[in-house]
Every structure is written in structure tokens, then in C-alpha cells.
Structure 1
């Protein structure tokens, strides 16, 4: 699974990213991380103070990757609505959920300022980025002037995150796709 050249700390971080996405924080044990990374307990505690420290590092990495992916598609398209459309329709795995959003469902993450920080920062970034694009659409006359950019951005982010929940609950990507189509239709209807 991992190359011989990948150092132990990197294997631990990558393994933790994967396990957090699959199992959440509560379901990810230090032993599972060590087994997946092919690392011993001593190696884990040599590089990290414990599970929470390693999880924050892994969550920071996942958050940075998500922001980079989102930012890449949010620059696609000639118009603000096209850029939002690119974000909504980018390739995703709805049945796996969101690497970052999944952490918001975990009570231990929500109860810890340190663990919650990467989740909160990512969604603040996303809402601000989307709000800027909506504001550009309003300013360009592509979207109705009555649209509040911050509220609209929150709704777009909620469509994606809620779509993940609906897809996972149904065991099918169809509810996610319906939510995206609905958001796109609302954006089209919001044109002046």
C-alpha cells in the first residue's frame, strides 16, 4: 500500500486520513492507525503526542486538500454561475461523504476546540469563497440583486453536505445528484 520511501510520519498521517474518512474519529483507534501505516506504537508516539495530535494533523491535511480541490473548480467557467456549477457538479464519491464534513458528525470532534478547528476553518473558507463568487454574479447582473451572497453561499455548501448525508442514508448517490440538480435549478431561477 505504501512505498518503502514514504517515511513513517507520512504513513501515519495518510493512514489516519483514510481511517477518519472511513470510521470517524471515535471509530479510529491508535492500533488501527498503526496497523494500516505499518508502524509500531513507539513510532507513532515518537512523531505525535497521541491520537488527537495525529488526527489534527491528518484533518489539517484533508482540509487543505479539500480547499485545493474546491478552489480549482471554483476558478473554472467564464461566469460566476458557471463556476458555482463546476463546484456543485465536480466528481465526488457521495456514498463516502465528505472527508471534512464527516468529522462534524463526531461528538468527540465537536466537543474539542482543537479537533473541530480544521472543520470549522474549512467551512468558513468555503462559505467566504462561494459568497465572493455569488457577489461577483450579482455585480455582473448574472444573479438577482436580492440574493444575499453569504446566505446563498451557506445554502450551496449545505446542499453539498446535506447531499452527502442523504446519499449515505439511502445507500445511493441519487439523492446527492437530485440535490445538486435542485441547487443548479435555483441558481438558474435566480437570474434577473
Structure 2
């Protein structure tokens, strides 16, 4: 599964990332991590003090990857709308859910400040980054004047995360695609109702 050149700590972290995504914190046992990483117990505890330490390293890497992916698209060429669309429409493993968003539904993750904090910080960063681009769009006349960028950014994040839930519930990515398409339509609308995008998303 892993390259022979990959260092043992990296294999352990990557294995933990996958298992947290698939099974959650409780379902990610040290034995499962070791088996997936092809590493022994001694190697695991040589590099990490225990499961919480390894889980934190995995969560930090997962959140860093989310930031890097988002930044690549949001820093890309094009207008504000084109960059936001690129982020919203990027290819995702929709039916697996968001590897970061799913952590917020794990009671064992949110109960620990050391595991929850990187997730909260990343989602806060994402809302801020999106809000900045929405503001650019308002300044350039792409979006209706008077909208509140922070509210629109929060609605974007909520729509993406809610889209994962709808897709998983229906067993089809179509529900995710419809949620994103609806948000983009509202965002570019010149009707004053665009100010209620976040309210509309909350009501779904």
C-alpha cells in the first residue's frame, strides 16, 4: 500500500488518517493502525507516545492537506466567482464524506481539545479565506452589493458539509452537486434575497 521509501512515521500517520476517515477515533485501534501501516508496535511507540499523539498528527496532516487544496484553487487565476466555483466544484470523494467535516461528528474527537482545535482552526481559516474572496467579488461588482461576506462564506462551508450528508444519505453524489449548484445560483443572483443565502442553507 505504501512506498518502500516512505518513512515509518509517515506510514503510521497516513494509515491513521485513512482509519479516522473510515472508522472514527474509537474504531481506529493501535493494532489496526500498525496492520495498515505495516509497522510493528515497537515502531509505533518509538515515534509516538500513543494513539492520541498519533491521532493528533494525523488530524494536523489532514487539515493541512485541506488547506493546501483549497488554497491552490482559491489562489488560482480568474474572477472571484470563478475561483469560488473552482473550490465548490472540485472533485471530491463525496460518498466518503469530508475527512475534516466527519471529525466534527466524532464525539471522541470533539471531546478532546487537542484533537478538536486543529479542526476548528481550519474551518475558521476556510470561512475567512472564502469571505475575503466574496468581498473581492463585491468590490468588483460580480456579486450583489450589500451582501455580508462572512455570512456567505459560512453558508458555503455549511452547504459543502451538508452536501456530503445529503449525498451519503441518498447514496448518490447528485445531492451534493445540486446543493452546490443552488448555492452558486443564489450567490450570483442580483435579487436582494441573496442576503438570505445562509438562512436558506440552515433551513435545509
Compute the TM-score of the two structures, normalised by the length of structure 1: 0.96
Number of aligned residue pairs: give it: 192
> Could you say what secondary structure the match of 1:45 adopts?
helix
- Structure-1 residue corresponding to 2:25: 25
- Structure-1 residue corresponding to 2:187: 187
Query: Partners in 1 of 2:149 and 2:185 — Cα distance?
Result: 17
CA contact (8 A) 1:142 1:191 kept: no
Query: Partners in 2 of 1:28 and 1:135 — Cα distance?
Result: 41
Q: Using the TM superposition, name which of 67-76 and 130-139 deviates more.
A: 67-76
**Alignment of 1:124 onto 2:124:** yes
**Alignment of 1:95 onto 2:95:** yes
Query: Partners in 1 of 2:174 and 2:9 — Cα distance?
Result: 38
- 1:149-168 equivalent positions in 2, closer than 5 A: 149-168=149-168
- Structure-1 residue corresponding to 2:195: none
Query: Partners in 1 of 2:188 and 2:151 — Cα distance?
Result: 17
- Structure-1 residue corresponding to 2:136: 136
For each residue in 1:131-161, what CA deviation from the matched residue of structure 2 results, as whole angstroms up to 9, or x when unmatched? 0001111111111121101010000011111
Higher normalized contact order (CA 8 Å, seq sep 6+, divided by chain length): 1
Query: Partners in 2 of 1:139 and 1:84 — Cα distance?
Result: 15
| RMSD after superposition | 1.3
Shift in alpha-carbon separation, 1:100–1:83, aligned structure 2, 3 A: same
- Structure-1 residue corresponding to 2:34: 34
- Structure-1 residue corresponding to 2:112: 112
Query: Partners in 1 of 2:167 and 2:127 — Cα distance?
Result: 22
Compute the TM-score of the two structures, normalised by the length of structure 2: 0.90
Any stretches of 5+ residues in structure 2 without a counterpart?
A: 193-204
Q: CA offset at residue 75 of structure 1?
A: 2.2
Any stretches of 5+ residues in structure 1 without a counterpart?
A: none
CA contact (8 A) 1:62 1:100 kept: yes
Q: Using the TM superposition, name which of 4-13 and 124-133 deviates more.
A: 4-13
Query: Partners in 2 of 1:5 and 1:115 — Cα distance?
Result: 29
Query: Partners in 2 of 1:173 and 1:54 — Cα distance?
Result: 32
Q: CA offset at residue 114 of structure 1?
A: 0.3
Runs (4 or more) in structure 1 with deviation over 4 Å come to none
